[in-house]
């Protein structure tokens, strides 16, 4: 196990965030030690706005056995995967599924999450979400590893319900066999739906879509595209993406969030860590 003082900007896709004590756990024993004081779990940092002052809690990163695992060798249809460490990155699983002729992960193409973070957020696109392909989720809670059925986690749009203080430790998926051509063709459709999204540093969509509408469309219609604070900017390509043009601060992003909310009653999709206002 490594315990280091690090700037969380190093671990967030937005590239902002101040200092914290970062505990990189390698195995079950490390995890049990790490959760003995107040903590937060860091996935791939792709849905986080972290304060410039950092956070006072321990920040746990899942390394070692929790960052290992793959889709396994394909036998039946459906194919039930082995347990996959929650720290494994989703893009590598999407690629592996294509290589092995396994279908179900295509809707998640382009989401730079850890599989644990994807489950926690029920990450997805209009083509589907991670909850659709979950067989089981292992969580570490109250000192024990417990297996949950997906139904127990109340998945909804960009939402799950975990017991307070639970850590997702491993995940099993249920995938279907399909030809690589069919998988590639769905991947191409998902990729094409992402064409309007900026490639620059962001944390994906800042706000959830309200029922029946798109937050990006609403922010755009309110004339807020291109609004900037410091080096943070509401993307000209897609108004629900806020980008770091280099050297932006968390407080700059928070000012953009506040400016949008002065005009529109939108709910944040980002998770906020630490004090911002």
Catalytic sites, residue numbers: 158, 205
Which of ligand EPU, ligand FAD, none has residue 220 at its interface (CB below 5 to 8 Å by kind)?
ligand EPU
Tell whether residue 125 is a contact of ligand FAD (CB under 6 A).
yes
Question: Applying CB under 6 A, what is the total number of residues that bind ligand FAD?
Answer: 31
Could you tell me which stretch among 198-206, 229-237, 242-250, 253-261 binds ligand FAD (CB under 6 A)? 198-206
Tokens 């069919």, residue?
182
20 binds ligand EPU (CB under 6 A): no
Q: Pairing relation of β-strands 228-229 and 232-234?
A: antiparallel
**Phi then psi for 93, rounded to 5 degrees?**
-75, -35
- From the list ligand EPU, ligand FAD, none, which binds 217 (C-beta under 5 to 8 Å, kind-based)? ligand EPU
Q: Cα(250)–Cα(54) distance, rounded to whole angstroms?
A: 10
Q: How far is the CB of 99 from ligand EPU (least distance, A)?
A: 23
Kindly write out the interface string for residues 125-144 of this chain, putting x where it contacts ligand EPU by CB under 6 A and - elsewhere. Answer: xx------------------
Residues 181-210, mask of contacts with ligand EPU (x by CB under 6 A) = ------------xx-x-------xx--xx-
Specify burial of residue 213 (Cβ count, 10 A radius: 0-12, 13-18, 19+): exposed
C-alpha Rg value of the chain to the nearest Å? 19
Q: Which of 16, 35, 47, 134 binds ligand FAD (CB under 6 A)?
A: 47
Question: Distance between CA atoms of 109 and 172, rounded to whole angstroms?
Answer: 18
CA dist list (Å): 144 to 66, 104, 150: 15, 30, 18
Q: Find the residue with minimal CB distance to ligand FAD.
A: 117
Least distance to ligand FAD, CB of residue 34, Å: 12
C-alpha span between 5 and 92 (Å, rounded):
29
DSSP letters, 18-58, are: -EEEEEEE-SHHHHHHHTTS-EEEESSSSSEEE-TT--SSE
**How far apart are CB 173 and ligand EPU at their closest, in Å?**
20
214 in contact with ligand EPU (CB under 6 A): yes
**Burial of residue 122, with CB atoms counted within 10 A of its CB: 0-12 exposed, 13-18 middle, 19 or more buried:** buried
The residue among 84 and 168 lying less far from ligand FAD, judged by its C-beta, is 168
Interface residue list for ligand EPU (CB under 6 A): 125-126, 193-194, 196, 204-205, 208-209, 214-217, 220, 238-240, 269
């Amino acid at each position: 196990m490594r315990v280091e003082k690090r700037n969380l900007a190093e671990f967030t896709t937005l590239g902002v965030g101040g200092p914290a004590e970062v505990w990189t756990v390698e195995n079950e024993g490390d995890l049990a030690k790490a959760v003995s004081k107040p903590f937060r779990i860091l996935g791939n940092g792709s849905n986080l706005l972290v304060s410039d002052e950092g956070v006072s809690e321990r920040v746990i990163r899942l390394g070692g056995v929790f960052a290992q695992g793959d889709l396994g060798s394909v036998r039946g249809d459906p194919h039930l995967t082995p347990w996959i460490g929650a720290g494994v990155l989703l893009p590598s699983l999407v690629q592996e599924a294509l290589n092995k002729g396994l279908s179900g992960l295509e809707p998640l193409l382009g989401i730079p999450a850890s599989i644990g973070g994807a489950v926690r957020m029920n990450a997805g696109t209009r083509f589907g979400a991670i909850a659709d392909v979950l067989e089981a989720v292992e969580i570490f809670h109250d000192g024990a590893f417990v297996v949950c059925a997906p139904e127990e986690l109340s998945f909804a749009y960009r939402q799950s319900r975990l017991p307070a203080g639970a850590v997702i430790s491993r995940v099993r998926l249920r995938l279907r066999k399909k030809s690589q051509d069919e998988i590639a063709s769905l991947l191409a459709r998902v990729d094409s739906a992402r064409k309007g999204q900026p490639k620059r540093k962001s944390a994906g969509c800042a706000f959830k879509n309200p029922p029946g509408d798109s937050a990006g469309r609403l922010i755009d219609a309110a004339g807020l595209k291109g609004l900037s604070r410091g080096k943070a900017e509401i993307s000209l390509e897609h108004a629900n993406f806020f980008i770091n043009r280099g050297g932006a601060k968390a407080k700059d992003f928070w000012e953009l969030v506040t400016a949008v909310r002065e005009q529109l009653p939108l709910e944040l999709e980002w998770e906020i860590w630490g004090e911002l206002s």
